[in-house]
Every structure is written in C-alpha cells, then in structure tokens.
C-alpha cells in the first residue's frame, strides 16, 4: 500500500536519491558511479511503468494523488497526481533517462558530478509532469532547466561559427558556437522565459483570488479577458522558448550541438517537451480566452517552425546542428497540434512529444556515438561509415524514417494525428506546410544518412571507427524498439493520452462547444 500511495513521489525522487548517494560518496568513480545512476534511472522508469499499469482508464481523471502543504501562507502545496498525459510523458522520461545513462557509459571526465546533475535534472522533469500545483510545477520546471548550464559548460564540446552578416561585430564579445557561449545563451534565454512565466503565474494567482496555486483553483478561475490576453503571451513566450518556438529557438541548435550526448538526449528528448507541455497545460487550459484569441498565431508560428527548422537543417553541415534543427522543426508539430484545439490535434501533440522524444533520443545517442569515435561532427568530411559501423547506420536510418513519418514507426502516428487535427481546425491550410515539412525532413535526414554512412570511405583519420558496444547497444536498441512499438501499437499510450484530452479539451473550448465522448 505504501508503494502505491507514494508511487509518484517515489518515481520523482528515485533519480534524486541516486544523485544524493553519488553526492555523498565522493569515492564512487567510473562504473560504480554509473551503476548507481543507472539504478536510480531504472527505478524511476520502473515507477513510470507501475504508474502506467496502475492508472485506471475507465475511471480517468487524476489518480495516485498525493498532497503535502509546502508554503501554506501562499497556498502552495506539493500536490502530485497523474493524468493520462502524465502517464505517457512519465514513460517517455523513464525511457530517455535510462537510455541516456547507458549512452553516457563512455564518459570519463568528472562523471560523478555529471550524473548528479543529470539525475537532479530528470527529477525535475518527472515532477513537472505530475505536479498539480502551478508553483511546484514551476519549481520542478526550473530544476529541469538549471543544471543544463553546468552540464553543457563543463562537459560540452566546442564549436565555431563564422563571423558574418550585419551583426558580425557581436563576435568581438562572444565566441559564438563555443560551449560556454552555448551554455550561457541557453540558460539566459530559458530563464528569460521563466521570468515571463513567473510574472504570468503571479498574475494568475492574484486574479484567481490569491489563495492557492492549485491547478484545480487556477483552471476554473474567471480571469478577466484583458489579463488573459497578455498573460497567455507571456506563457507562450516563456514556455515556448523552451519548446523551441520561433524566434526563440536559437538557443537550441547551439545548445544541442555543444551538449554532451546524454544531455542532448534528455534536452531534446524530454526538456523541450516541458515547454510545449507548459503552453498546453498552463497557457491554453488555464487561460481559454487568451488561447482562443492567440491560437491562430500560435498555429501559424508552429507551421513556420516546422518549415523553418527543416529548411535550416537542410543547410547545416554539422551533424549535431542538423539533428538540433530537426528538433526545432518537430517541436513545431507539437505546437501545431496544440494550436488546432481539436481532439486529434491534442492527442497528436502529446503523442508527438513521446514519439519525437524517443526518436531524437535515438538520434543524439547515435550522433554522440559517431562523434565519440570520429572526433568530428563535420558531415562533408565523413562518408562510408557504414562499413565500420553497420549497426549505427541501420539505426540512424530507422530514426530518420521515424522523423520523416514512415508508417510503422512512432513519428507517423503523431504527425498523422496532428495533420488530421489541423484539417479539422479552423485553419485547415496548416496541414499543408506541415506535410511539406515532413517531406523536407525526408530530404535532409536521408541525405545526411547517405553522406555519413554510405558511399565511399571512410576517409583517412577515421581509423577508430567501430560499431556500438555493450551499453550503447542497449540504449540504441531500447529506443528503436520503443519507436517501432509505438508505431505499430499506438493505443498502448494513446488511450491514456486520449483520456486526458477528452477531459481537458472542453476546458479550452468551453463546455458548450464540444461533445467529445469518452472512449467505450
């Protein structure tokens, strides 16, 4: 009973406890430290699976509720509960952190500290997905964002961007593309978002009576329309900057390129989802009038994101930048689904979070692996790697296929639902650039696959190339298996997502505007 009653807090705490263990034991090094981290990550993953198994679909709503007072004076409490979305996103987080730790096994520099930060970060991610108190939600959100600075700044890799364009003078002060630059830019842009979120949260708190930060209070409150209009923009900007919304996405390519493998995996795989999740869960659901007003713009920007990200990826020559821009493009799909305000669109948006999380996790794991062996990210210098790393090549193509929406892989289900939702929305045309974006994805993803793995080569200087080994295999195969599983049997998690969407969408549309029935 204890386990069930505290399942959520245990899941959230598991990585944190592992981090504390690592922190308390400075002598843990190498494989021992990694094993501790793996145990913590796997425990949280097991918790996520237990949540999935124990969530009662026929009942729906919030389940596994836990509530502890935190700052009673301001009505803040640690209120954890899971809904259908939470089930799906917890599973995603569990998969990504577990495989992320596995993919980190080759790290040999300050690995204990690295794992501590990584685990703390992932505790925050779990927390966001199960928080039912806006303030605690925000706190967890910050835990998830902040360790990035050190993770990228210390363990990141260096890059360089040529000084060009009308703002070339900026290079006098910043080493654009470097890891310190990337870490600083990412942190500042994301925390600028956080500041905006905080202002909106404070406004919502007072407008809802100033007694509680609970979702249940804030969600039903009658906010003045004028306040909703500006507060929604703040939330959109705030969460959206983490979700890679144009034009606040520019931290993402630099950040992802500089970040070490596991961090890229976690960041693109899960963290960017927090942003999109925030826009939906807080922005749209709590400020329906604001959402109704701004949704055409949100959708239009999302469409721009899809095409912009894909076109930018097309022109990149750095392996990590390509994948990073593809994340910008794919997060556009999430935001597009959200902006449709339709059942299919929202289902697709959340499903895309899961699907893209796994896909981009796999991508970054593979890219990290290639980088680890080739010591280069420069695509034009590569070629023919498949000879030495056939497994990596195969899985890279698989990830690429999921990203371009090949049926049978997770990406298709998500994109299909989103486009379906788009066509049902008031802005049917959104589907068209969305689909074009998927085509452009096919162009750049498969091209980079060819440029890196196929054709003649490998050239001189790539003698150390070898296929994945041991734990790397475990990470890659697990992610690929998830992609296939989610592509073949989507209802495995879609039922849960659908359940929550059914409950939440009317909040935005207003009770009169929908007749969405619960699945039989």
Query: Please, what is the minimum distance in Å from the beta carbon of residue 13 to other proteins?
Result: 14
The smaller minimum CB distance to other proteins, of residues 3 and 491, is found at 491
The smaller minimum CB distance to other proteins, of residues 50 and 423, is found at 423
Is position 514 an interface residue for other proteins (rule: CB under 8 A)?
yes
Query: Please, what is the minimum distance in Å from the beta carbon of residue 293 to other proteins?
Result: 19
Output the 3-class SS for 357-378. Answer: HHHHHHHHHHHHHHHHHHCCCE
Percent helix, strand, coil in the chain, to 5, is: 75, 5, 20
Query: Please, what is the minimum distance in Å from the beta carbon of residue 353 to other proteins?
Result: 16
For other proteins, the binding residues in 308-337 under the rule CB under 8 A are 308, 311-316, 325
Is position 436 an interface residue for other proteins (rule: CB under 8 A)?
yes
The H or E element containing residue 345 is helix 343-374
The smaller minimum CB distance to other proteins, of residues 74 and 378, is found at 74
From 412, 430, 462, 504, residue interacting with other proteins (rule: CB under 8 A): 412
Cα angle 185, 354, 288 (rounded to 5 degrees) comes to 75
Q: Going residue by residue from 197 to 226, which x/- string records binding to other proteins, judged by CB under 8 A?
A: -xx--xx-xx---x----------------
Is position 362 an interface residue for other proteins (rule: CB under 8 A)?
no
From 419, 430, 462, 504, residue interacting with other proteins (rule: CB under 8 A): 419
Is position 229 an interface residue for other proteins (rule: CB under 8 A)?
no
Token digits for 283?
A: 């922005």
For other proteins, the binding residues in 135-194 under the rule CB under 8 A are 138-139, 142-143, 146, 149-150, 153-154, 161, 164-167, 169-170, 173-174, 176, 179-180, 183-185, 187-189, 191-192
The smaller minimum CB distance to other proteins, of residues 357 and 400, is found at 400
C-alpha to C-alpha distance for 28 and 112, rounded to whole angstroms = 7
For other proteins, the binding residues in 489-508 under the rule CB under 8 A are 490-491, 494-495, 498, 501-502
| Listed ranges 39-47, 259-267, 372-380, 435-443: which one lies at the site for other proteins (CB under 8 A) | 435-443
The size of the interface with other proteins (CB under 8 A), counted in residues, is 108
The smaller minimum CB distance to other proteins, of residues 21 and 443, is found at 443
For other proteins, the binding residues in 249-308 under the rule CB under 8 A are 250, 254, 308
Residues 6 or more apart in contact with residue 101 via CB below 8 angstroms? 34, 37, 38, 41, 115, 118, 262
- The DSSP line for 451-513 is HHHSSS---TT-TT-----HHHHHHHHHHHHHHHHHHH-THHHHHHHHHHHHHHHHHHH-GGG
For other proteins, the binding residues in 42-71 under the rule CB under 8 A are 70-71
Of 265, 452, 475, which is closest to residue 373 (Cα–Cα)?
Answer: 452
C-alpha to C-alpha distance for 372 and 365, rounded to whole angstroms = 10
Asked whether the beta carbons of 285 and 219 are under 8 A apart, the reply is yes
| Listed ranges 58-66, 273-281, 288-296, 445-453: which one lies at the site for other proteins (CB under 8 A) | 445-453
Is position 518 an interface residue for other proteins (rule: CB under 8 A)?
yes
- The terminus-to-terminus CA distance of the chain in angstroms comes to 30
Spell 468-487 as b/e; 16+ CB within 10 A means b: beebbeebbebbbebbbebb
| Listed ranges 2-10, 216-224, 373-381, 449-457: which one lies at the site for other proteins (CB under 8 A) | 449-457
The smaller minimum CB distance to other proteins, of residues 187 and 360, is found at 187
Query: Please, what is the minimum distance in Å from the beta carbon of residue 73 to other proteins?
Result: 5
Return the residue matching tokens 């399942």.
7
Cα–Cα distances (Å) from 415 to 102, 162, 244, 270, 439, in that order, read: 29, 35, 17, 18, 12
The smaller minimum CB distance to other proteins, of residues 53 and 517, is found at 517
């Amino acid at each position: 009973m204890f386990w069930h009653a505290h399942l959520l807090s245990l899941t959230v705490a598991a990585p944190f406890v592992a981090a504390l263990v690592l922190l308390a034991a400075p002598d843990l090094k190498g494989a021992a430290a990694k094993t501790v981290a793996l145990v913590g990550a796997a425990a949280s993953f097991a918790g996520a699976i237990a949540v999935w198994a124990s969530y009662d679909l026929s009942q729906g709503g919030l389940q596994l509720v836990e509530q502890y007072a935190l700052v009673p004076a301001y009505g803040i409490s640690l209120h954890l509960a899971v809904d259908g979305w939470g089930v799906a996103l917890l599973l995603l987080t569990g998969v990504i952190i577990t495989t992320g730790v596995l993919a980190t096994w080759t790290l040999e520099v300050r690995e204990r500290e690295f794992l501590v930060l990584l685990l703390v970060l992932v505790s925050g991610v779990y927390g966001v997905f199960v928080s039912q108190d806006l303030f605690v939600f925000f706190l967890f959100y910050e835990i998830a964002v902040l360790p990035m600075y050190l993770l990228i700044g210390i363990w990141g890799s260096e890059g360089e961007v040529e000084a060009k364009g009308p703002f070339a003078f900026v290079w006098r002060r910043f080493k654009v593309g470097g890891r310190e630059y990337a870490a600083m830019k990412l942190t500042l842009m994301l925390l600028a978002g956080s500041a905006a979120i905080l202002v909106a949260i404070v406004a919502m708190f007072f407008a809802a009576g100033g007694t509680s930060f609970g979702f249940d209070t804030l969600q039903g409150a009658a906010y003045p329309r004028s306040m909703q209009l500006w507060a929604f923009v703040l939330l959109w900007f705030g969460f959206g900057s983490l979700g890679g919304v144009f034009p606040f996405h520019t931290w993402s390519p630099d950040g992802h390129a500089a970040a070490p493998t596991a961090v890229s995996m976690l960041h693109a795989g899960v963290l960017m989802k927090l942003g999109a999740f925030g826009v939906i869960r807080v922005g749209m659901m709590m400020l329906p009038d604001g959402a109704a007003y701004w949704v055409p713009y949100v959708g239009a920007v999302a469409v721009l994101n899809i095409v912009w990200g894909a076109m930018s990826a097309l022109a990149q020559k750095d392996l990590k930048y390509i994948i990073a821009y593809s994340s910008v493009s794919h997060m556009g799909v999430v935001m597009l689904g959200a902006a449709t305000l339709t059942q299919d669109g929202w289902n697709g948006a959340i499903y895309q979070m899961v699907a893209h999380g796994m896909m981009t996790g796999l991508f970054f794991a593979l890219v990290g692996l290639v980088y680890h062996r080739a010591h280069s990210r420069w695509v034009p210098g590569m070629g023919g790697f498949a000879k030495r790393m056939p497994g990596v090549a195969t899985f890279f193509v698989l990830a690429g296929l999921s990203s371009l929406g090949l049926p049978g892989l997770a990406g298709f289900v998500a994109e299909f639902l989103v486009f379906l939702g788009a066509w049902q929305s008031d802005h049917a045309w959104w589907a068209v650039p969305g689909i074009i974006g998927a085509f452009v994805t096919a162009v750049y993803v498969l091209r980079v696959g060819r440029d890196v793995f196929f054709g003649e080569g490998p050239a001189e200087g790539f003698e150390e190339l070898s296929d994945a080994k041991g734990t790397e295999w475990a990470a890659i195969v697990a992610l690929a298996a998830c992609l296939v599983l989610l592509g073949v049997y989507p209802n495995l998690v879609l039922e849960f997502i659908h359940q929550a969407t059914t409950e939440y969408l009317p909040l935005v549309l207003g009770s009169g505007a929908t007749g969405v029935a619960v699945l039989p």
